[in-house]
Every structure is written in structure tokens, then in C-alpha cells.
């Protein structure tokens, strides 16, 4: 069985030119849950929602404002051991955008994806941050971070691309390899037999205007549902920033806590 690098938490960092940009901070909770946070993005107004693809539809263009909710806080994405997924932020937002996904005692080839546009809007980790950094070289200002959840018993042996760093080369198609990290929760975790495969690649710009953006999709259904186009499937989506937030607050729901009210 492949032994991953075991960490309680880690940063995913892009090296672009002479600068470092933290895309996300990921943490294993003591109960085995996975938390994905975005402390380095410089925008706070965003949209969150659950998108449903009807049977017979393989892709769709949509406006998150048509079905989502608005927030003025950067939310945390959580995937719990029993498969519950949601967006939350203690004391700041209501945990109402959620769905049932795959339990973490099962392999899930696609756990979540983060898209980051405009790396200059993602700051570096603070100098006093002692969290381990997973570093990736990138050739442009738009990147995609893909996380898979793997049963360690099902992984063949791999040779590190950089000895002692935990970086390996992952085969993503017949003739194409990408650098990746295999990170496992600490020993004693309920999910210690599994690991996160984290890979990152440079992508084409997400839009023609070049505006910085942060997008996460996650909370997917099991493969037998998600890849069966005769069945309805859904997943969670978040997008920052939000255009015209003041106008939208009068039109769509907000998940923010209102000071002085009971929840």
C-alpha cells in the first residue's frame, strides 16, 4: 500500500513568475471530515447554490444568481465522513446550502475542483504561517485544482518526482502525466486508509474580461448516478466575486446571519 504524506492541514500554493499565491487551505478534522478554505482571495461577496442537471443533459450554461444565494463572507466547503457536504462559516453564515454526496469510506475519483482566475488576487501565505505548502509551478494566471479521494490499497507504487516532498507524477490520460501530491490524514483518523490526490494545472482564461474569480464545485453524486445521463444529478457550486451584490440582495436570498436575530 502506498503511504501518503500525512498532514493535519496544508496550503495549495501556485508559483507564478517570482510570486507565490495560495489558492486554498485544506484541513482534515479529527472526525475525518475534509474542510476547504480560501483565506487568501481578496473578494468577500459571492454566490453559493446547488445546481441540478436534469436527465438527458450533460452540460449547461447557468447564472448562479438565478438559483443560488448571496453571501458577504468567504465560505468554507465541508465534506463529512458520512457524505454530507455544505458551505458554512461559523458565526457568519447559515448552513443551508448542502447535499448528500459520497461517504468518505468509499473511493471518489472526483471529490471537488477549484478554479482560480487572476492569481494576483490570491495572496501568499503569511510569513508566520507554519502550515506545509504544496507548491505547483504555473504558466498563466488561471489554474484548476482537482482533488480526488483514493483508497490507498488501490494505488500502485509511485516514484516521487521530488524526493522527500511528496510530489509524484500522476497519469491523467494515456500519454499525459501531471505533478500531484498524495496527502493522507494523520494516523488514527477514521479515514487513515484513504488519501487526497491534489493536482493543479494551468488552464485557459475563464472569461474574456480577465476579472479575478474563485469557483468551487463539489458534493457530487456517486459515479453510477453522475455519469448516467438518463438520471438527474446535482452538485454544490460557489463563485466569487458577485456582480452587483447590493442589487441582488433585494432579489435573492442571503445566507448571512443578521446581527441581533435568533437562528
118, 12, 174, 139 alpha-carbon torsion, rounded to 10°: 40
Q: Is 40:26 a contact under the CB 8 Å cutoff?
A: no
CA distance 247 to 122: 26
Cell triple for residue 5?
504524506
Question: What is the pLDDT, as a whole number, of residue 164?
Answer: 45
Check whether the bond before 220 is cis (ω within 30° of 0). Answer: no
What order do you get walking across the sheet with 19-28 strand by strand? 98-100, 84-88, 76-79, 34-37, 19-28, 9-16, 132-137
Q: Which residues neighbour 262 within 8 Å (Cβ) at sequence distance 6 or greater?
A: none
- DSSP code of 152? G
Q: How distant, in Å, are the alpha carbons of 88, 146, 230, 233 from that of 57?
A: 29, 23, 8, 10
Q: What is the pLDDT along the chain (263 residues), one digit of tens a residue?
A: 678 999 999 999 999 988 999 999 999 999 999 999 999 999 999 999 999 988 876 666 778 888 899 999 999 999 999 999 999 999 999 999 999 999 999 999 999 999 999 999 999 999 899 999 999 999 999 999 999 999 999 886 555 555 445 667 666 566 667 789 999 999 999 999 999 999 999 999 988 888 999 999 999 999 888 887 788 999 999 999 998 888 898 899 999 997 655 54
> What's the pTM?
0.91
Question: What is the pLDDT, as a whole number, of residue 169?
Answer: 66
Question: What is the pLDDT, as a whole number, of residue 203?
Answer: 95
Question: What is the pLDDT, as a whole number, of residue 63?
Answer: 85
CA distance 110 to 107: 9
Question: What is the pLDDT, as a whole number, of residue 155?
Answer: 81
Taking alpha carbons only, the member of 113, 162, 130 closest to residue 11 is: 130
Cell triple for residue 101?
454526496
> 10 Å Cβ neighbour count for 263?
6
Amino acid at each position: 500500500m502506498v503511504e501518503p504524506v500525512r498532514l493535519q492541514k496544508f496550503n495549495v500554493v501556485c508559483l507564478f513568475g517570482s510570486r507565490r499565491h495560495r489558492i486554498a487551505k485544506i484541513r482534515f478534522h479529527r472526525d475525518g471530515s475534509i474542510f476547504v478554505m480560501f483565506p487568501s482571495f481578496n473578494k468577500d461577496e459571492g454566490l453559493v447554490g446547488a445546481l441540478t442537471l436534469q436527465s438527458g443533459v450533460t452540460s449547461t450554461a447557468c447564472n448562479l444568481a438565478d438559483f443560488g444565494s448571496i453571501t458577504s463572507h468567504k465560505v468554507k466547503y465541508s465534506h463529512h465522513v458520512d457524505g454530507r457536504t455544505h458551505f458554512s462559516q461559523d458565526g457568519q453564515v447559515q448552513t443551508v446550502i448542502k447535499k448528500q454526496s459520497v461517504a468518505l469510506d468509499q473511493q471518489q475519483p472526483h471529490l471537488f475542483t477549484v478554479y482560480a482566475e487572476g492569481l494576483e488576487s490570491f495572496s501568499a501565505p503569511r510569513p508566520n504561517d507554519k502550515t506545509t505548502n504544496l507548491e505547483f509551478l504555473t504558466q498563466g494566471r488561471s489554474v484548476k485544482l482537482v482533488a480526488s479521494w483514493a483508497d490507498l490499497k488501490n494505488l500502485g507504487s509511485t516514484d516521487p518526482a521530488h524526493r522527500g516532498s511528496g510530489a509524484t507524477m500522476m497519469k491523467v490520460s494515456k500519454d499525459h502525466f501531471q505533478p500531484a501530491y498524495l496527502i493522507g490524514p494523520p494516523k488514527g483518523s477514521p479515514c487513515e486508509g484513504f488519501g487526497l490526490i491534489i493536482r493543479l494545472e494551468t488552464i485557459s482564461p475563464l472569461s474574456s474580461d480577465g476579472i479575478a474569480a474563485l469557483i468551487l464545485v463539489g458534493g457530487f453524486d456517486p459515479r453510477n448516478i453522475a455519469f448516467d445521463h438518463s438520471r438527474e444529478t446535482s452538485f454544490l457550486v460557489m463563485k466569487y466575486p458577485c456582480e452587483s451584490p447590493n442589487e441582488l440582495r433585494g432579489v435573492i436570498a442571503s445566507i448571512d446571519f443578521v446581527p441581533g436575530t435568533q437562528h
